[in-house]
Every structure is written in C-alpha cells, then in structure tokens.
C-alpha cells in the first residue's frame, strides 16, 4: 500500500504537494470513491485509481529503451549540452530518471533509462558481468592479432579488460560485433586504439539478453515490459 499523493505524484510526474492539492480538490478517486486525504493509502495493482476522471497507470519504477542519437550526452543534467533525459517525450518524463550506464556523445543505440537505482546498480556492477554488444565500424580491417587479444583481454593502461567476443560483420572486417562484460570509460574505442585502429561509428545493439528494438528511430523510445527487463538482467 502506498500513499495516494505519492502514487499520483509518480504517475503524473508532478510534485507531492501538487498531487496533494489535486486530492484535496476531490479530483482523485479510488475504486469509485473520492479520496479525501492525501495520506490515504491504496494498492495500485488492485484498485482502480482515477485522476481527473482518467485511469492512472502506475508502476513503482519505469524502464525505457531509447535508440540514442548522436549529439546527446548520457547524463541526467548537462550544463550546455542536451541529455538523453531532455529528449524523452513528455508522457515518459518522471522525476529521478537517469541513464543506466554511459554511451559516448557520438555513440548511438540502446540506452536504458530508469528510476530504479537498485536495478541499474545490479546490471552495471562489474561483478555481474552483464554482456553489452556493440557494432563498431573501424578504419582498418580487424586482424587475427586483434581477435586473439580481445578474446584474452586487452591491456588498457595498467588494467586488463575481461575477455571480449569479436565477430566479423562485413567482408573486409571493418565492421565488427563486439561483446564486452564491463563498462570502462571509452572501453571499445580504447580496446581498438590499443592496436592503432580508430572506431568511426559505434552503436550498442544489446544489453544482457535484450536487443535494441530497431523499429525505434534514432531519438525515439518506449517502455519495456517486465519480460524484457528480466531479459536484460538474466538473458543471454
Ligand atoms: N565503448 C566506447 O568506447 N564508447 C561507448 O559509448 C560505449 C562503449
């Protein structure tokens, strides 16, 4: 059970005090009865909650897949730069949303945005080794030496990366599918750079067992189902 002002505030992306004032004006009803106090509790999964006559769809947390475009940063706030949060459509905006993990400004593809800190922590924790798959376009063909090094773990400065999988995606191997199990800073670009190779395009196409939904245009996003959320954490 949760307080009705909290439910309304989350579902409608408004402050608790704004939600309270809607309740006090008699604009919120639970199972057909107008709610009198913002402190009244309700169970959103079992009750019909109406806000200004409209059914409230409530979930404690939300999980959004964005097909990140180039030119936006994966942060919650950017001083002079547009963030992935800034480009969310109004109906998906909620306070406390943040990108779970980083993509460079010029990297595109699967960006997960959520307000569930514990989930984000679990999928990003290096201990859990959740795989992330990228398509990297590079400026020269990938060699056998690179493949072996990726598979053994590339040494970056003083840190050795965990073994990564690399597969050929085009005839001359200037496009590669790379799966890593960590999220080190600029990891893919630095792994290639260790062999004098420059990444010219980078797109994340999979997190855990969940693939990017290619029906999303760059900059578009949608909510994930509980099955999809589960696939990120426990899928292959
Ligand atoms: N590795 C990179 O180099 N950049 C990204 O955005 C993600 C992984």
**E strands, the chain, where?**
2-3, 28-30, 33-34, 41-42, 49-51, 54-55, 63-68, 98-99, 108-114, 132-138, 155-156, 159-160, 165-168, 175-180, 199-207, 210-211, 221-223
**Residue reference for tokens 């597969």:** 167
Residue 150 has pLDDT above 80, yes or no: yes
pLDDT of 138 reads 98
Question: What average pLDDT score do residues 154-180 get?
Answer: 95
| Per-residue pLDDT tens over the stretch 46-68 | 899 999 998 887 788 999 999 99
Question: Contact, 114 vs 120, CB < 8 A?
Answer: yes
Tell me if residue 134 falls in helix, strand or coil. Answer: strand
Top pLDDT among 43 and 202 is at 202
Protein residue with its CA nearest to atom 2 in ligand 1: 186
Ligand 1 nearest-atom number relative to CA 199: 3
Q: How far is the CA of 228 from the centre of ligand 1 (A)?
A: 23
Between β-strands 108-114 and 199-207, what pairing exists: parallel, antiparallel or unpaired? parallel
Ligand 1 nearest-atom number relative to CA 104: 6
Question: Contact, 183 vs 189, CB < 8 A?
Answer: no
Pocket test of ligand 1: the residue of 68, 100, 104, 110 to mutate, having most ligand atoms within 8 Å of its CB, is 104
Top pLDDT among 100 and 94 is at 100
Q: How far is the CA of 103 from the centre of ligand 1 (A)?
A: 6
**Residues annotated as part of the active site:** 104
Mean pLDDT of the chain: 94
Tell me if residue 189 falls in helix, strand or coil. Answer: helix
Residue 186, number of CB atoms within 10 A of its CB: 14
pLDDT of 92 reads 83
Residue 203 has pLDDT above 90, yes or no: yes
pLDDT band at residue 16, thresholds of 50, 70 and 90?
very high
Percent of the chain scoring above 90 in pLDDT: 80
Pocket test of ligand 1: the residue of 187, 190, 193, 201 to mutate, having most ligand atoms within 8 Å of its CB, is 187
Between β-strands 63-68 and 221-223, what pairing exists: parallel, antiparallel or unpaired? antiparallel
Q: How far is the CA of 167 from the centre of ligand 1 (A)?
A: 17
Residue 173 has pLDDT above 80, yes or no: yes
Question: What average pLDDT score do residues 98-107 get?
Answer: 96
pLDDT band at residue 214, thresholds of 50, 70 and 90?
very high
Q: How far is the CA of 110 from the centre of ligand 1 (A)?
A: 12
> CB under 8 Å to 142, separation ≥6 — which residues?
166, 168, 173, 174, 176, 197
Question: What average pLDDT score do residues 39-43 get?
Answer: 94
Indicate whether this model's pTM tops 0.75: yes
Question: What average pLDDT score do residues 1-16 get?
Answer: 89
pLDDT band at residue 116, thresholds of 50, 70 and 90?
very high
Question: What average pLDDT score do residues 12-21 get?
Answer: 90
């Amino acid at each position: 059970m949760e307080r009705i002002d909290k439910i309304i505030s989350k579902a409608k992306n408004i402050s608790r005090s704004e939600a309270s004032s809607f309740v006090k004006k008699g604009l919120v009803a639970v199972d057909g009865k107008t709610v009198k106090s913002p402190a009244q509790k309700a169970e959103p999964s079992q009750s019909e909650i109406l806000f200004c006559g409209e059914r409230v769809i409530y979930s404690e947390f939300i999980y959004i897949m964005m097909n990140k475009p180039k030119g936006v940063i994966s942060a919650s706030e950017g001083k002079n730069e547009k963030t992935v949060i800034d480009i969310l459509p109004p109906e998906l905006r909620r306070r406390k949303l943040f990108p779970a993990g980083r993509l460079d400004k010029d990297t595109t593809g699967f960006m997960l945005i959520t307000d569930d800190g514990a989930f984000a922590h679990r999928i990003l924790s290096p201990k859990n080794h959740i795989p992330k798959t990228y398509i990297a376009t590079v400026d020269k063909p990938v060699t056998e030496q690179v493949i072996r090094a990726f598979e053994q773990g590339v040494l970056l400065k003083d840190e050795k990366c965990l073994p990564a999988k690399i597969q050929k995606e085009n005839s001359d191997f200037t496009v590669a599918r790379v799966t890593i199990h960590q999220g080190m800073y600029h990891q893919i670009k630095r792994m290639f750079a260790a062999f004098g190779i420059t990444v010219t395009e980078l797109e994340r196409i999979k997190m855990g067992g969940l693939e990017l939904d290619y029906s999303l245009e760059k900059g578009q996003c949608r909510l994930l189902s509980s099955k999809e959320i589960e696939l990120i954490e426990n899928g292959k």
